[in-house]
A and B are shown apart, each in its own frame.
Chain A
Amino acid sequence: MLEDELTVNIRHRDGVAIIDLIGDVTTFAEEKINGAYRQVTARGDRFILLNFRQNDYINSAGIAILIGIVTEVNQNGQKLAVSGLSPHFQKIFRMVGLAQYAEIYQTEEDALSAFKRLGAVE
């Protein structure tokens, strides 16, 4: 009844698939996030950025969804980064080990610069 309407947008910039996650990342987000990941993977994207909006709610169910994504990213030989997290959720991502598999950047621009150094091109 009170589930947040997570909005998931897919954009492409500088050879990077950017998945914007606008809203709460909880158990209700699973289908949308996994669907977006499947979509960019089917398109052949190698560089993927999960772009969060500061101060949204991410709980353990949401973190589990993201752990599932990083597992698939590793299996598929893709590169994943995250941006837009609040300092609190940056801490949580480091705590649970997600930061081992996805670099954390403050902003979308920072992440795109890093992907460019890894070989992402327009």
Chain B
Amino acid sequence: MQIILPSILGYEVIARDAVASLARRCGISPERVEDVKTALCEACTNAIEHGNRSDPQRKVQVLCTVDEQRLVIEVYDEGGSLPMLPRKPVQWTLEQRASLRGMGLMLIVTLTDEVSVVADPNDGTCMRLVFYRNLAGDSVSAS
């Protein structure tokens, strides 16, 4: 499934609703679908604001693939900057919360099963979010 968004804040909810529908239909638990929605919105917001610098002419592409074990969501922007993802487990501190982008990235890292970023100066940046399909229960705790 492929969705293309303009770099305008607010459009991330369109991708969120479509991907949430896909996630539900591939057996991801309702609680985990909420994690998918939040992580995807943060990834799209990051792509809109930081990757594409809110230039509406630049596109954000969301590409979803499902295999037997995983839902993989790739969020592409047209920028070349590589966001620095925090390591798991994320240590939430007041200093890190002070940075809005930092908090969005921390949410992504905390809520996904796997996340990676690839930046290419010609092709832009891709953030890849992976969610396991209910293999052994949900992996993100409420703590």
Contact = CB atoms under 8 A, between A and B. Distances in A.
Given A2-B10, A3-B9, A94 B103 contact: no
Contacts of A107: none
B142 A60 contact: no
B38 A27 contact: no
B42 to A, nearest CB: 6
B4 interface: no
A20 B9 CA distance: 24
Interface in A46-91: 57, 59-61, 63-64, 67, 86-88, 90-91
Interface stretch (B92-100, B115-123, B125-133): B92-100
B31 A88 contact: yes
A59 B104 contact: yes
Contacts of A96: 92, 97, 103, 106-107
Given A91-B142, A95-B92, A63 B38 contact: no
B92 A2 contact: no
From B8, B10, B143, name the one whose CB has the most chain A CB atoms within 10 angstroms.
B10
A92 B106 CA distance: 11
From A24, A27, A87, A88, name the one whose CB has the most chain B CB atoms within 10 angstroms.
A88
Contact of A60 (B9, B10, B92, B100): B100
B100 A2 contact: no
A59 B10 contact: no
Interface of B: 8-11, 13-14, 16, 31, 34-35, 38, 41-42, 45, 92, 94, 97, 100, 103-104, 106-107, 110, 142-143
30 contacts: A1-B10, A2-B8, A2-B10, A2-B11, A2-B14, A3-B10, A4-B10, A24-B13, A26-B10, A28-B10, A57-B41, A59-B41, A59-B42, A60-B100, A60-B103, A60-B104, A61-B100, A64-B100, A64-B103, A86-B34, A88-B31, A88-B34, A90-B142, A92-B38, A95-B92, A95-B110, A95-B142, A96-B103, A97-B92, A97-B97
Interface of A: 1-4, 24, 26-28, 57, 59-61, 63-64, 67, 86-88, 90-92, 94-97
